[in-house]
Every structure is written in C-alpha cells, then in structure tokens.
Amino acid sequence: MTERRGGSRAVWSEVDLEAIRENIRALRALVAPAEVLAVVKANGYGHGAAPVARAALDAGAAWLGVARVEEGVQLRGHGIDAPILLLSEAPVSAAEAVVTHSITPVVYTVPGLEALAKAVAAYGGRHRLSVHLKVDTGMHRVGCDPDDALDLVARIDASAELELAGVCTHLAVADDPADPYTAAQLAQFAGVLDALRARGDECGLVHAANSAAALASPDARFDLVRIGIAAYGVPPAPTFDDVIALRPALSLHARVMMVRELAAGERLSYGLRYELPHASRIATVSAGYADGVPRNLGLAGGHVII
C-alpha cells in the first residue's frame, strides 16, 4: 500500500499496488496468448507512474505505455528498463530523448520518421531504432491514413536507422460491443496488414485493443493489448462489470474534523440547499476542492465510509 498525504492536511489517497497486480494477472489470463502493455501515462492515471509500472511488471506485463516522451524518460530515471511504447509520435524536438532513453515510438508522418532517423544518426547509429506504425482506421486522433501505410513502411525499410517492430491502431467505440464501427475498424486494419504482408513486410507486434476491446473483442487482441483504465480496477463501461473481477486501486481518505447534533429543519453548507428531514448527527470531513471533491457533490449525492 502506497500512502500519499498532503503535508499536514488530514486528507490523503491510498493506492493498493496489490490490486494493480491482481488486475494485471486477471487480464493476462483473459487475453492470453496476447501480451499485456500497461498504460501508465498521466502519472499512472494519478496513481503514481513508477510504483504502478513496477507492480504491473511484477504481475507479468510485458510493456509499458506512455503518452509523452518525458513520461518515458521519468520511468527510465526510476531504473525501469522494460520496453516502453510512446503512444503518440514524438515532437521533432524530443526525438533525441526517444533514442537516448531507448523508448519505442509510434510513427505516422514523414517528418516524424526523418527526425527519429536523424537522432539515431547523431547518437552514433549503433543500432536501428524500433518503431511501431500507427494507422488511423477511424479514431481520427492520430495515425496515418491507411492508404499511406505502405509508403511509410517502405521509408522505414529503406532507412539505415529505423526498423519496423509493430503495427497498431486505436478503436473508438470498443466500450459499446454492439456498435458495428469496431468491426469496420478491424476490417480496415486487417486490410493494411494483409497488404503489408503480401509485399513481404514483417509487421512485428500487432496491436489494436484498449481495455474495452481486450475484454469484449477477442478478435482485436492480436499480439498485444494496451490496458489502461482496467489496470486500475475500473471497468471501461458498466456493461463490463460481469466480464472480469477488477479491484479498484485508489481510495480517498480524510479525517473527520467535527461532529455535531443538529435539529430537524436545519440546513447545511453553501446555499443551505440540504434540509435535515429529522434530527441528525453531522460529521464534517476535511476534504474539499483542492482534493478533487466537486462542489456539486452535495447536489448529486454521494457516500463516505466512516
């Protein structure tokens, strides 16, 4: 259990790293023989990137995934030497950091390829840098057009500094298993893979599945699944609650700072919106905006465990 407190304040979060391990083990068993990439972007979804990364690797994750170059650099700074996939193409200015810290980038533009190749050459060109081609099959955030995939792979193959180690895509609506858009994306992705293989290209690791697709779309698992929110014990949608047992890893704690008895009809806090229906014992908890508690929680309703 990793506990982090905000100085002298009586509010803190706790991260159960064993829950992370259990979730990764359960997901690995579900998606086998595909391997698991644990996504630890955004400081491990706020759970702490390095501790989560170590827990996921302990449980058998083969890869880690980050969104920004500096996130991969930070993991290397913590002594983590596992394969790290950069999920978006590196800015030209960060290409050198990708090379020097042995991060595997996804690529999808000619300028991106050229910047990485120059960085490898500048670093000494001792070995070729592995890259994964990201194909946009309908997510429309990042990735190359399917019609451009063969040309980009040809450029990679012709480069003395780069080598194709994987091909991937990203699914937009996998959290709704009934939506036919996922099948259409996978069909388009299969067409790109078939065209590459027909030309004699080795595609390396093939991956498309996020947490939702890993749970609901076995045909999307390929060689590797990218597990994000599910690693932290949160199903990607309520419809997945019965697919696999996941343990939430994060809990928020605060100390009770005052307890009082109030009569029926008294009103509480800003706006006095809540009226006590009967005489009640009221506990004030030391947690607020700065701790991520939204002001409208009082209107929406919620629970705490005392």
Q: State the catalytic residues.
A: 41, 270
Helix axes 69-77, 49-58, angle to 10 degrees: 70
Which of 186, 171, 176, 180 shows the shortest CA–CA distance to 226?
Answer: 171
CB atoms near residue 111 (< 10 Å): 10
Angle at alpha carbon of residue 36, lines to 189 and 120, rounded to 5° = 75
What is the C-alpha separation between 302 and 285, in angstroms, rounded? 13
Inter-residue contact 84 to 61 (CB < 8 Å): no
What is the C-alpha separation between 122 and 116, in angstroms, rounded? 10
Distance of CA 178 to the CA centre of its chain: 23
User: 């780069």: which residue's tokens?
Assistant: 162
What is the C-alpha separation between 191 and 218, in angstroms, rounded? 18
For the chain, what is the largest distance between any 2 Cα atoms, rounded to a whole number of angstroms? 79
Distance of CA 21 to the CA centre of its chain: 15
Question: Could you tell me the two tokens for 160?
Answer: 């003395």
What is the C-alpha separation between 10 and 54, in angstroms, rounded? 28
What is the C-alpha separation between 123 and 131, in angstroms, rounded? 16
* Phi, psi angle pair for 63, to nearest 5°: -135, 160
Which of 174, 212, 229, 220 shows the shortest CA–CA distance to 38?
Answer: 229
